Copies of this chain bind each other. A is one copy, B any other.
């Protein structure tokens, strides 16, 4: 069994197009999470830029690479800890712009994921990633990552869990939807289903606030392997839960049932392939 980790999601409202302010905001958030005992700290999608871009120049004005000093500052805030910060940013790569998440340890950037499923206007400005999400090994367990709309594709959490992730960190910016028949944000319901069907922990860091008329959901949640929300953000935007991440690997859910071994790929893999060629 791995060491228990305090997993924190931090729900903040970045300031639109103000990279300097957001560097300070996220460094401060990581420092505070550390003071509160967090080992693994998840920040929202696009936490260094905000979301409601209107022009490509606006996007470029906030775009950075993994060598930007902000990541060294996240690493510095982790000094002496074997933990991880997972946070979203606009990544510049040649002429391309990506919605990315950096996975940063005290030693620096361990991996960068480029969002592979782009929602709506994101397609105007951003290029979808071509690589499957990375998994970073820590002494607490293995941390995978998805970003926002990725979670609407059950295949993504499924494949991360199959590949060995114990915890899926989800930087997200959930635009507020109407909820005619219930109170729970539908995106949280999907995150819970991803957790339960894969027996994996899920930590979603949503953002709060409003930008250019768009309100965000503030639906951050730390979710256990049965799909229950263990923690939601407090008044300061922090949700912190102690998790023994390696328990995600105990997928024998009855004497004769195993979450993965009970799958019947021969019944559906062909259907997925056929669609892939359409």
B197 contacts A153, C-beta separation under 8 Å: yes
Contact of A189 among B189, B257, B263, B264 (CB under 8 A): B189
Complex Cα–Cα for A162 and B192 (A): 23
Complex Cα–Cα for A262 and B156 (A): 12
> Which of A182, A189, A190, A267 has the most chain B CB atoms closer than 10 A to its own CB?
A267
State whether the Cβ of A152 lies closer than 8 Å to any Cβ in chain B: yes
Knowing A182-B229, A196-B190 touch, does A119 contact B155 (C-beta < 8 A)?
no
A189 contacts B196, C-beta separation under 8 Å: yes
Which residues in chain A, 169-204, are within 8 Å of chain B measured between CB atoms? 180-182, 186, 189-190, 192-194, 196-197
Complex Cα–Cα for A154 and B264 (A): 11
B154 contacts A158, C-beta separation under 8 Å: yes
- Return the CB mask of A239-274 against B: 1 if under 8 Å, else 0: 000000000000000111100101111111101111
Number of copies: 2
Complex Cα–Cα for A254 and B120 (A): 6
> Which of A116, A158, A193, A196 has the most chain B CB atoms closer than 10 A to its own CB?
A193
State whether the Cβ of A237 lies closer than 8 Å to any Cβ in chain B: no
Q: Which partner residue on chain B sits nearest A154 by CB separation?
A: B154
Chain B hits for A186, CB < 8 A: 196, 226-228
State whether the Cβ of A138 lies closer than 8 Å to any Cβ in chain B: no
State whether the Cβ of A275 lies closer than 8 Å to any Cβ in chain B: yes
State whether the Cβ of A132 lies closer than 8 Å to any Cβ in chain B: yes
Chain B hits for A254, CB < 8 A: 119-120
Contact of A162 among B123, B132, B264, B271 (CB under 8 A): B271
Closest 6 CB pairs of A and B: A193-B193, A265-B276, A154-B154, A181-B228, A159-B268, A159-B271
Residue pairs across A and B with Cβ atoms less than 8 A apart, 14 shown, are A132-B267, A154-B155, A155-B267, A162-B272, A162-B275, A181-B228, A182-B229, A186-B227, A186-B228, A192-B193, A193-B194, A263-B276, A265-B272, A272-B272
